[in-house]
Amino acid sequence: MVNLGVTLTLPHNDTKNIIKLLNEKKINTIQIMFSKKNITYTEIKKILKITKKFKYVYIHSSYLINIGSELIPIKDCMFNNSINLLTEEIIYSHQLNSCGIIVHLGRNVKKLYDDSIIYNNMTANIIELFKRLKNLKKIKIEDALLTIL
């Protein structure tokens, strides 16, 4: 059996009509891309209500994430906008009981840096990400999918 799915950007104002249409088409898979940062608990509950009818729910992370960007030490922690955003989205994915989160790691735009620097940054960022998420259930990294088990 083929699983047919769609992508929705949530929270969204016209969600009821969209979900009604999807239910009529018997679509059982949905991929969510968040329309903003700092999603509230109330919005998470609304998204859960929307997605409960789908067998498979995935999150698609922001295209702004670039794991190859540099970690910046600030006081007692490491700062990186991409890691901050990805951490947030993984937590939302966990709260939404999703099957996983699709993450594009980013790229070395215009080859401004040596690839070894980018790979070292990616390694440091992934280690930092696991430190921040140590209280979540197990996280499994696959080729193109970050799965929360």
Alpha carbon 93 to its chain's center? 6
> Does the structure show a pLDDT above 80 at 82?
yes
Q: Return all residues near 143 (Cβ < 8 A) that are at least 6 apart.
A: none
Share of the chain above pLDDT 90, in %: 6
| Coil vs helix vs strand at 82 | helix
Q: What is the mean pLDDT of residues 107-113?
A: 70
Say which residue, 18 or 66, is predicted with more confidence. Answer: 66
Band (122; pLDDT cuts 50, 70, 90): confident
Global pTM?
A: 0.77
> Does the structure show a pLDDT above 60 at 91?
yes
Q: pLDDT, tens digit, for every residue of 126-141?
A: 888 888 888 876 666 6
Q: Write down the pLDDT at residue 135.
A: 83
Q: pLDDT, tens digit, for every residue of 24-58?
A: 777 788 888 887 788 889 989 988 988 888 888 98
Only one residue has tokens 């047919």, namely 4
Q: Is 126 exposed, middle or buried (0-12, 13-18, 19+ CB in 10 A)?
A: middle
Q: How far apart are CA 12 and CA 101, in angstroms?
A: 19
